[in-house]
Amino acid sequence: MTNIKMPALSPTMTSGTLAKWLVKEGDNIKSGDIIAEIETDKATMELESIDDGKVNKILFKEGEQNIEVGTVIAKIGDDDENDDEKISVLPSTNKDENLILTKNTITVREALRDAMAEEMRLDQNIFVMGEEVAEYQGAYKVTQGLLEEFGEKRVIDTPITEQGFAGLGVGAAFGGLKPIIEFMTFNFSMQAIDQIINSAAKTLYMSGGQMGCPIVFRGPNGAASRVAAQHSQCFASWYAHCPGLKVVSPWSASDAKGLLKSSIRDPNPVIFLENELLYGEKFEVNEIDDFVPIGKANILREGNDITIVAFSIMVGKALEAAETLSNENISCEVIDLRTIKPLDTDLIIKSIKKTNNLVVCEEGFPFAGISSEIISQVQELAFDWLDSPIKRVTGLDVPLPYAENLEKLALPQGKDIVEGVLSALNRIVKG
């Protein structure tokens, strides 16, 4: 008996949907035959059999969602073993939980797509351009369905030519259009950085205010999952460094939607930093907050002892850390920056005046990072309000390694935030 398991079909895939069975129980199949279609976080993929034999059992129905990677989905060969594995991998509560979640929630991926679609319906001058955004439906499925709704004039697949299409976008913006330029990941924006900074960011100033550039550069930023150094880097401080750019980096789905809509409407060039690991995360969407203003941070958890500032994926880790610390009677205030530039310094200072302690988190490298900037501003503006030196929790100053253990060591984790808080508050770090 051979077990067919839910395969990992992308670096970030943790579970998949059984889109379609192409065989049925009792069929005789050969190794290499396509037996099913699996929908991943990125695409729908065909699954090949790894063995010859009769399809003995099919353990999941078509349409079943969230089947964890490694779960046995079918058995091939003689029925010589018991098959209680199915029970162990499919907790009875799982399905119900999903039902509740899907009712009032939305993934970050869907939120981003909805933001683009809603704005595109209102303004004919908005178009989306990038690698695989149209027919492929987006390398990370963020632009799924846009081609179908808006057609090839407004949803445009480009060649692999980042500097070229970034510059084209800038020219189109000068020419009166409102481009949304997707980088498959922001790592590839390094190919285009001259156009982003020298052409998009500076021309308004150099033209004495004549040449606005209403453009959004968006895509996943930061580390994904074991894609190693060239594909794992946070660009927040790179772009925030440059006058003329706004830099936005949301965590939740509703902020992703509200901020992307604001970014599209903004008359300035906006760098919109998403996170691949968050695309599939589900969040409750507050219908009222359809637009989230650029430049406004958000207090996600109120507290009195210490302020934790974070953005993007670090927000989730900060909230976990705050929960852990509450067990030790430490009350953390967690601020989600949402926008990196312009920075909501006022909210940070206000919080520090209450808590008198600060930990700043970012996934990126420590040297000249966003945390350095926040620490600098806070000591200038609220030095007398601080009871302890400010701590930062960042990625290590090292190209991101591939090996699973090393990658985890290089990236800041929730426990690092816990330790940062304890250290700031001069508590003993346990174990």
Partner 1 sequence: MSKSKKIILSKPALRRKKPTKKIKKTSDINVLNNEFLIKLYKEMLLIRRFEEKAGQLYGMGSIGGFCHLYIGQEAVVVGMQSVSKEGDSVITSYRDHGHMLACGMDPKGVMAELTGREDGYSKGKGGSMHMFSKEKNFYGGHGIVGAQVPIGVGLAFSHKYKNDGFVCMTYLGDGAVNQGQVYESFNMSALWNLPVIFIIENNKYGMGTSVDRASAGSSLADRGKAYGIPGMEVDGMNIFSVREAGKEAIDFTRSGKGPFILEMKTYRYRGHSMSDPAKYRTRSEVDAVRQQKDCIENLKEVLQEQKVTDQELKNIDGEIKSLVTNASDFALESKLPDDNELLTDIYL
Which residues does the annotation mark as catalytic?
162, 231
Can you tell me which of 34, 122, 206, 429 binds partner 1, judged by CB under 8 A? 206
Residue whose C-alpha is closest to residue 192's, from 219, 212, 214? 219
Q: Kindly state the smallest distance separating residue 185's Cβ from partner 1, in Å.
A: 19
Q: Report if residue 175 touches partner 1, rule: CB under 8 A.
A: yes
Q: Minimal distance in Å, beta carbon 80 to partner 1?
A: 58
Q: Which of residues 198 and 225 has its CB atom nearest to partner 1 in the complex?
A: 198
Please say which residue, 69 or 211, places its beta carbon nearer to partner 1. 211
Q: Which run of H or E residues covers position 270? A: strand 270-274
**Selected binder of partner 1 within 28, 31, 104, 207 (CB under 8 A):** 207
| Segment interacting with partner 1 (CB under 8 A) among 133-141, 192-200, 350-358, 417-425 | 192-200
Decide if residue 168 touches partner 1 (CB under 8 A): yes
- 174 binding partner 1? (CB under 8 A): yes
- Tell whether residue 147 is a contact of partner 1 (CB under 8 A): no
Closest CA to 164 of 186, 145, 138, 189: 189
Q: Which tokens belong to 278?
A: 């968050």
Task: Tell me the Cα Rg of the chain.
Answer: 24
Using CB under 8 A, pick the residue from 14, 66, 163, 225 that binds partner 1.
163
Q: Tokens 């003689």: give the residue.
A: 78
Q: Is 198 one of the binding residues for partner 1 (CB under 8 A)?
A: yes
Q: Residue 26 or 209: which CB sits closer to partner 1?
A: 209
Q: Which stretch binds partner 1 (CB under 8 A): 59-67, 105-113, 195-203, 359-367?
A: 195-203
Question: Are the C-beta atoms of 83 and 89 separated by less than 8 Å?
Answer: no
Per-residue CA distances from 46 to 16, 28, 33, 346 (Å): 12, 18, 10, 52
User: Of the ranges 200-208, 216-224, 248-256, 390-398, which one interacts with partner 1 (CB under 8 A)?
Assistant: 200-208
The interface with partner 1 within residues 215-254 (CB under 8 A) comprises 243-244, 246
Q: Name residue 217's beta-bridge partners.
A: 181, 271
Q: How far is the CB of 199 from partner 1 (least distance, A)?
A: 6
**Residue 145 CB, nearest distance to partner 1 (Å)?**
21
State the helix-helix crossing angle for 108-122 and 253-265, rounded to 10 degrees: 30
Q: Which two tokens stand for residue 310?
A: 């974070």
Closer to partner 1 by Cβ: residue 26 or 176: 176
Indicate which single residue of 177, 193, 381, 396 sits in contact with partner 1 (rule: CB under 8 A): 177
CB atoms within 10 A of CB 314: 32
Cα–Cα distance, 198 to 180 (Å, whole number): 18
Candidates 207-215, 251-259, 282-290, 385-393; binding stretch for partner 1 (CB under 8 A):
207-215
| Shortest Cβ 295–partner 1 spacing (Å) | 10
Specify the amino acid at residue 357: N
Sign, CA dihedral 103-109-110-115, equals: positive
88 three-class SS: helix
Question: Is residue 130 a contact point for partner 1 (CB under 8 A)?
Answer: no
Question: Does 431 engage in binding with partner 1 (CB under 8 A)?
Answer: no
Contacts of 124 (CB under 8 A, 6+ apart): none
Query: Contact with partner 1 (CB under 8 A): which of 11, 53, 212, 366?
Result: 212
CB of 156 to partner 1, least distance (A): 8
Of these, 165, 183, 188, 235, which contacts partner 1 (CB under 8 A)?
Answer: 165
- Pick the closest to residue 409 from 392, 396, 393, 391 (CA basis): 396
195 sits near partner 1 (criterion: CB under 8 A): yes
Q: How many CB atoms lie within 10 A of CB 349?
A: 16
| Widest pairwise Cα distance in the chain | 80
> Is 26 a binder of partner 1 (CB under 8 A)?
no
Q: Output 119 or 281, the one with its CB closest to partner 1.
A: 119
Using CA atoms, how far apart are residues 318 and 191, in angstroms rounded to an integer? 32
Q: What is the C-alpha separation between 177 and 154, in angstroms, rounded?
A: 11
Question: Tokens for 85?
Answer: 């594995």
268 sits near partner 1 (criterion: CB under 8 A)? yes
Q: Hey, how many other C-beta atoms are within 10 angstroms of the C-beta on 331?
A: 14
Interface ranges with partner 1 (CB under 8 A): 125, 127, 153, 158-159, 161, 163-177, 194-195, 198-199, 203-212, 243-244, 246, 267-268
